[in-house]
Amino acid sequence: MKPESTRTQIDQIIDEAKAYNFKSVCVNPTHVKYAAERLADSEVLVCTVIGFPLGASTTATKAFETEDAIQNGADEIDMVINIGALKDGRFDDVQQDIEAVVKAAKGHTVKVIIETVLLDHDEIVKASELTKTAGADFVKTSTGFAGGGATAEDVKLMKDTVGADVEVKASGGVRNLEDFNKMVEAGATRIGASAG
């Protein structure tokens, strides 16, 4: 997800994903078509990011990015919420933002990144509730760009909030088997890691 990612690096993560049966490979939108072509003969899904990493794009921009990504071969969408709107208490704006991406994804999996490191307890709960209400498939902890990352406490809070209807992805700071196990025990069904 780094801005300096090259095709050589994309090839490396694709090869690792195939070798270790990862669920998906997450690439920047500019690499979606290439990744989709490389993964066409495998079960590994192509994921991309929308409004990344700040979440500060307009709703229309996020919807367009989503449509473009799907057209280029993305199987999954990871969108970043409008964090400022959440902190302002403009919950309708946040929900409409998520709903627009869910609609543009046309049935493809949507994961909503709420950037837990920037939120307090109540904001994590509210963002998780809005994710569920808007019809997304996952609520996700972090982009990995804001420092910190997933904590087992945040994952548990998110899972307790969304219940069985929405899955939780722990991403950022999961570097070893011990971290992985903590996240799964807390309720994560998917783990995002830059180190396979």
Domain layout of the chain by residue ranges = 7-192
Whether 78 sits among the annotated catalytic residues: the reply is: yes
Count, residues in the chain: 196
Q: Which of 140, 159, 179, 182 is catalytic?
A: 140
**In the sheet where 138-140 sits, what is the strand order?**
24-27, 45-50, 76-80, 109-113, 138-140, 167-171, 190-192
Whether 93 sits among the annotated catalytic residues: the reply is: no
**What's the mean per-residue pLDDT of the chain?**
96
Q: Which of 78, 97, 137, 154 is catalytic?
A: 78
Angle between helices 152-162 and 177-186 (to 10 degrees): 30
Mean pLDDT of all residues in 128-136? 99
Q: Which of 62, 126, 159, 169 is catalytic?
A: 169
Q: How far apart are CA 152 and CA 166, in angstroms?
A: 17
Residues 76-123: tens digit of each pLDDT: 999 999 999 999 999 999 999 999 999 999 999 999 999 999 999 999
Q: What is the pLDDT of residue 172?
A: 87
Residue 195, pLDDT > 80, answer no
Whether 169 sits among the annotated catalytic residues: the reply is: yes
Query: Where is pLDDT greater, at 3 or 65?
Result: 65
Q: How far apart are CA 75 and CA 26, in angstroms?
A: 10
Q: What is the pLDDT of residue 193?
A: 80
Superfamily of domain 7-192: Aldolase class I (3.20.20.70)
Confidence bin at 145 (pLDDT 50/70/90): confident
Q: What is the pLDDT of residue 97?
A: 98
Q: What is the pLDDT of residue 37?
A: 98
Confidence bin at 149 (pLDDT 50/70/90): confident
